[in-house]
Chain A
Amino acid sequence: MQPKINFQDVSVRYRLPKERIRTFKEFAIKSLWRKIEYEEFWVLNDITFNIDAGAMVGIVGRNGAGKSTLLKLVAKVMKPVKGQVEVNGKVTPLLELGAGFDYELTALENLFLFGSILGISGKEMKGKLARIIEFSELGDFINAPLRTFSSGMVTRLGFAVATAVTPDILLLDEILALGDAGFQKKSLGVIEQFRRSGVTILFVSHDLERIRSLCDQVIWLEGGTVRAMGDTTTALNQYETFLHT
Chain B
Amino acid sequence: MKDIDLTVRIGRLKLKNPVIVSSGTFGFGEEFEDFFDVSRLGAIIPKGISLKPMMGNPPPRIFETEAGVINSIGLQNPGFEEFVKEKLPYYKNLKTHLIINFFGNTQKEYIDLARRFDGIPGISGLEMNISCPNIKRCGIVFGTDPRMAYRLVHAVRKATKLTFIVKLSPNVTDIVRMAKSAEEGGADAVSLVNTFRAMAINIQTRKPELGNVIGGLSGPAIKPIALRMVWEVGQAVRIPVVGMGGIMNAGDAIEFILAGASAIQIGTANLVNPRTGIEVVRGIKKYLIQNKIGSIQKLIGAFRG
B partners with A:
no
Residues of A whose CB lies within 8 Å of any CB of B are none
Residues of B whose CB lies within 8 Å of any CB of A are none
